[in-house]
Amino acid sequence: MGVDAAVCLVVLVLCFALLAANRLAPDVVLLAGLTLLVVVPLPDGAGGWRIGVLDTHEALAGLANPGLVTVGALFVVVAGVHQTGVIDAIARGALGRPKGVRRAILRILGPVIAFSAFLNNTPVVAMMIPAVREWSAKLGISPSKLMIPLSYAAIFGGTCTMIGTSTNLVVAGLVASNTDIEPFGLFEIAWIGVPCALVGTLYLVLFGPRLLPDRSSATAKLRDVREYTAEMLIPANSPLAGRTVEGAGLRALPGAFLVEIERGGYVFAAPGPEQRLDAGDRLVFTGVVESIKDLQTIRGLEPATNQIYKLDEPRANRRLVEAVVSNTSPLVGRTIKGARFRTRYQSVVIAVARGGERVRGKVGEIEIQAGDTLLLEADAAFAERHRDDRDFFLVSELSDSSPRRHQRAGLAVTILLAMVLVAGVGWLSMLQAAMVAGALMVFLRCTSVQAARGSVDWSVLLVIAAALGIGTAIQKSGLAESLVGGFLDVAGTNPLAILAAIYLGTTILTEVISNNAAVALVFPFVLQVTDRIEANPLPFLFALMMAGSASFATPIGYQTNLMVMGPGGYRFADYLRVGVPLNLLLGIVTVLLAPLIWPFA
C-alpha cells in the first residue's frame, strides 16, 4: 500500500469514526475529509513534496455529477407538489380511519411507497410526519407504532425506481461517469425493489405491532394546550358544497372540533356527521394551532373574513403568524373589527386563543384581552417587522404555513406525471426531465421562487459531492485495489459469496454513515472486484443500490430514520429490534434475486 493509499485509509477511518459518533453533521465531516485529501503534504518520490492526493478539479468534480444536480432539481419539483396541496389531499384521502394497528401500518405503507418511488424520500417523510402524528391521535394509536413504518415505507418506495432516492441517482451517475454501461432505465431497479418492498411490507404488517414500542412521542408531551376559535367559509363553487360534514372530512378532525354552522342567520349547533354543507356556510371550529393551520390547506375552505382579499401581498406569499397581545397594546378592550386590525398591521386575524378556554362568538366580534394569542395571516416580513413591537409580548411565524395554491394542483400533478413519463420512456434523461419540471413549477407559479430556493436541502447535496470526491481519492490512490485484493483473499472468487459480502459490507456502512456516502465509497471496490473476477457488474451495482438504501437498524444511517425519532419517541434500541431482522431479510431477497435477473456471466 502506497503513501497516498495509506493517507486515504486514515481519512476514511476518521470519517467513519466521526460519523458514527454523531457529534458533527455528515456534510461537515465529509467536507473536512475531502479538504484533508486536497491539502495534506505528501512525498513526491524524488526527495520533494507535493500537496494533496487530489487536485482541486478532482475534488470538486462531484459538484457537477448528474445525480447530485438531479436531486437538487427534484427538491424544487416536490416544493411545487407540496405548495399546491396535492400531498395534503392525497394524505387525507389515503389514510382514512382503519381499525387496528396492522391496518393503520398498511394504510401508511401504500401511499408513502407510491410517493417515494417518484419523489425524494426526505421531503415526502417531512410532509407526512404531521399528518401521521395527528392521524395517530385521532385513531388513539401511539405514534411510536407508526413513525418507523413511515420512514421504512419511504425507503421501500425509493428502491422501486431510479429517481426514488438519491442513492440510486448517485450510483447511476457514477456508472455513467466511470463505465461504458448503458444508462439505467427508470424502472430497471424495480425488478428487485418491488419484491423487496412487498416483503418489507409483509414483515411490518405481521411483526411491526409486536416489535414497535408503545410510547408517547417527545413532542406529544409538549402539546399546545391553547384552543383557538376560527371561522371558515364554504365559498361558491366549493367542492365541499353539497357534501355532508363527514363526507367533507370535517368530522373527528385531529385536534379540532366543528362547533357550529351558520347559514342565512340560522345556527346549527354541534352539527352531526350527516349535516349537509352549502355554499356560503360559515363554519366555526375550535382546536389547537396545528389543526387550525391544517384547515387552511383544505381545498374548498377559506377564512370567513373578507379582509384577506384586501391585503396588498398576494395570498400565496403570505404566512401564518402567532402574536400574543401585550397589556399595553391599544388593541385591548376593542373588538377585532373595531380595532381596524388590517389597516393598523397589514394583516388579518384568522383565529383567537385565550388560555385554555373556548372563545365564543364570531372572530370579528371578539373583544381582545391582554394575553390573547392571535393567529394572523400576514406577509412574510410581518414577524421580523413586529418582533420588538410593544403591542405584542411575542411574535412567531408558523413553519410551512403559506396558503396552498389549490387552483394549480392539477397543473402540478400534470408536470410531475410528465416528468416521470418522459424520463421513463427515455425522451429525456432524468436530469433533463427534473430540471424542466422544476423550472415549470416555478414559471407556472405552482411554487414561489423563495419556496423553491428554500426547499433545496444543501446539506444533502454537499454530502453527495464530498463523498464522490473521497471515492475518487480511494480509486486514484490505489486504496480500492489494495482493499479489494484483501477482500478477495477472504471472500474467494465465488460471485455469489462476493455479492453477499458487498451487500453486507455496504449495509453496515450505511448504518453508520450516510447512504450516499456509503455507495460512493464502495463503488470503486465493486468495479475492481468485478474486473478481477471478470463478472457482469450489473447484479453487483443493483445490490449496491439496494444495500445503500437498506438502512433500518440505526437512526443515524438514513435521514428519514432520524426525522421520525423525535415524533415517535424512539430510542436507539428500537431501531435495532425492528431493523436488524429487516436488513437481513431484504439482503437475502436481493442476493438471491440479483443474479437471476442479471446473470454473473
Residue 517 lies in a domain: no
Same domain flag for 239 and 373:
yes
Spatial separation of the C-alpha atoms in residues 10 and 4, rounded to whole Å: 10
Looking at residue 120, its pLDDT comes to: 67
Looking at the DSSP bridge assignments, the partners of residue 394 are 324
Residue 205 lies in a domain: yes
Looking at residue 567, its pLDDT comes to: 79
Looking at residue 206, its pLDDT comes to: 94
Looking at residue 225, its pLDDT comes to: 53
Spatial separation of the C-alpha atoms in residues 449 and 439, rounded to whole Å: 10
Looking at the DSSP bridge assignments, the partners of residue 354 are 357
* Among 135, 117, 134, 122, residue whose Cα is nearest residue 82: 122
3-class DSSP state for residue 290? helix
Spatial separation of the C-alpha atoms in residues 404 and 411, rounded to whole Å: 13
pLDDT per position as a tens digit, 99-115: 788 998 999 998 889 88
Burial zone of 268 (CB within 10 Å; 0-12 exposed, 13-18 middle, 19+ buried):
middle
Residue found under cell 421562487 = 449
- Tell how strand 282-287 and strand 392-397 pair up: unpaired
Same domain flag for 212 and 309:
no
Q: What residues contact 74, with CB distance under 8 A and at least 6 apart? A: 119, 120, 163, 434, 438
pLDDT per position as a tens digit, 269-318: 888 889 999 998 989 888 888 778 878 778 888 888 777 767 777 776 78
Residue 90 lies in a domain: yes
Number of domains in the chain: 2
Which of 458, 477, 497 represents a domain boundary (last residue)?
458
For residues 585 and 158, the answer to whether their CB atoms sit within 8 Å is no
- For the four alpha carbons of 550, 555, 556 and 561, in that order, the dihedral sign comes to positive
Spatial separation of the C-alpha atoms in residues 116 and 124, rounded to whole Å: 7
Same domain flag for 210 and 145:
yes
The values of phi and psi at residue 354, to 5°, are: -135, 95
Range of the domain at 81: 67-217+407-458
Spatial separation of the C-alpha atoms in residues 165 and 167, rounded to whole Å: 5
Q: What is the CA radius of gyration of the chain?
A: 27
Spatial separation of the C-alpha atoms in residues 277 and 280, rounded to whole Å: 9
Residues 151-165, mean pLDDT to the nearest whole number: 89
Which helix (H) or strand (E) covers residue 319, if one does? strand 319-325
Residue 56 lies in a domain: no
Q: What residues contact 102, with CB distance under 8 A and at least 6 apart? A: 205, 206, 208, 209
Residues 322-347, mean pLDDT to the nearest whole number: 87
Spatial separation of the C-alpha atoms in residues 158 and 120, rounded to whole Å: 7
Q: Residue 272's domain is classified under what CATH number?
A: 3.30.70.1450
Looking at residue 454, its pLDDT comes to: 82
pLDDT per position as a tens digit, 506-536: 887 777 566 777 787 788 888 888 888 888 9
Residue 110 lies in a domain: yes
3-class DSSP state for residue 49? strand
Q: Which amino acid is at 578?
A: V
Which of 458, 475, 499 represents a domain boundary (last residue)?
458
Looking at residue 113, its pLDDT comes to: 92
Same domain flag for 328 and 194:
no
pLDDT at 91 over 70: no
Same domain flag for 129 and 185:
yes
Same domain flag for 379 and 254:
yes
Same domain flag for 149 and 174:
yes
pLDDT per position as a tens digit, 222-234: 445 567 888 889 9
